[in-house]
């Protein structure tokens, strides 16, 4: 006999005997060992976590008889603490949010979405980047160009044109045409309709490239000759350092 509720419910153990909500459950999540009551895992009946332990298709057992979930269990302790009535540390909002989404614990996910760290990322930065045409695609293009230039080199440089509006786009086109480098390899971002500036977008590009594990920096491309050289306001050199 099995049931999906969290109060007054029972599920069969691996030995066939029923387990009540107060039964102690041992978990092995990617090598991290946890113990809790069944009722804690069933606190939110519509969550994926509750479904794992309320139906017939519960996780398999490891050699010690603990329920095994093949996932990194580093941050699962904060999921358990939330189910026990405690909020996760703000500094780990992003990491715990991934766990909340995986286990389908909506109240925890909503709590974390309202935290300053994730609110700024999801409502501020991501909403801005959603208004920059082909942003994610251009990030991938930058990585491909950099990797293609990395043969026998410690660093490779990718030219990036960032234009805030159509007027800048026309100026950028003119400057790019005067470059000695392959014009087809220049990656262009924008225009966009949102308040953040070119510097804000450059910071986002650097942040997202580094989140993929690359080491990068950027500086303005200089145009002109001799003492007349000056930084270009919309053309930048992104340097990937490989070793």
96-154 pLDDT, tens digit per residue, is 999 999 999 999 999 999 999 899 998 899 999 999 999 999 999 999 999 999 989 99
Average pLDDT, the chain: 88
Q: Pick from 15, 99, 80, 95: which is nearest to 42 by CA? A: 80
The residues spanned by each domain of the chain are: 10-125, 135-241
Give residue 158's pLDDT.
95
- Is the separation of the CB atoms in 47 and 36 below 8 Å? no
Task: Say if residue 14's pLDDT is above 60.
Answer: no
Task: Say if residue 1's pLDDT is above 70.
Answer: no
For 207-234, write each residue's pLDDT tens digit: 999 999 999 999 999 887 767 778 888 8
165-175 mean pLDDT: 86
Q: 10-125: which CATH topology?
A: Potassium Channel Kv1.1; Chain A (3.30.710)
- Is the separation of the CB atoms in 106 and 47 below 8 Å? yes
For 19-29, write each residue's pLDDT tens digit: 677 889 999 99
Task: Say if residue 57's pLDDT is above 60.
Answer: yes
d(CA 76, CA 98): 10
Task: Say if residue 58's pLDDT is above 90.
Answer: no
């Amino acid at each position: 006999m099995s049931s999906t509720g969290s109060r007054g419910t029972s599920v069969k153990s691996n030995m066939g005997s029923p387990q009540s909500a107060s039964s102690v459950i041992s978990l092995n999540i990617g090598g991290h060992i946890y113990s809790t009551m069944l009722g804690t895992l069933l606190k939110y009946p519509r969550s994926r976590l509750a479904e794992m332990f309320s139906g017939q298709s519960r996780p398999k057992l490891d050699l010690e008889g603990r329920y095994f979930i093949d996932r990194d269990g580093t941050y699962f302790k904060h999921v358990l603490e939330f189910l026990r009535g405690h909020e996760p540390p703000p500094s780990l909002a992003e990491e715990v949010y991934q766990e909340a989404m995986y286990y389908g614990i909506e109240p925890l996910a909503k709590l974390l979405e309202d935290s300053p760290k994730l609110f700024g990322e999801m409502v501020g930065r991501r909403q801005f980047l959603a208004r920059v045409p082909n942003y994610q695609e251009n990030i991938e293009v930058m990585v491909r160009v950099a990797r293609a230039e990395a043969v026998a080199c410690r660093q490779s440089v990718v030219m990036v044109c960032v234009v805030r509006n159509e007027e800048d786009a026309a100026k950028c086109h003119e400057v790019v045409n005067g470059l000695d480098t392959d014009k087809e390899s220049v990656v262009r971002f924008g225009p966009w309709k949102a308040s953040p500036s070119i510097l804000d977008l450059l910071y986002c590009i650097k942040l997202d490239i580094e989140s993929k594990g690359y080491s990068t920096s950027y500086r303005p491309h200089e145009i002109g000759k001799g003492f007349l050289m000056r930084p270009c306001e919309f053309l930048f050199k992104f340097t990937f350092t490989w070793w």
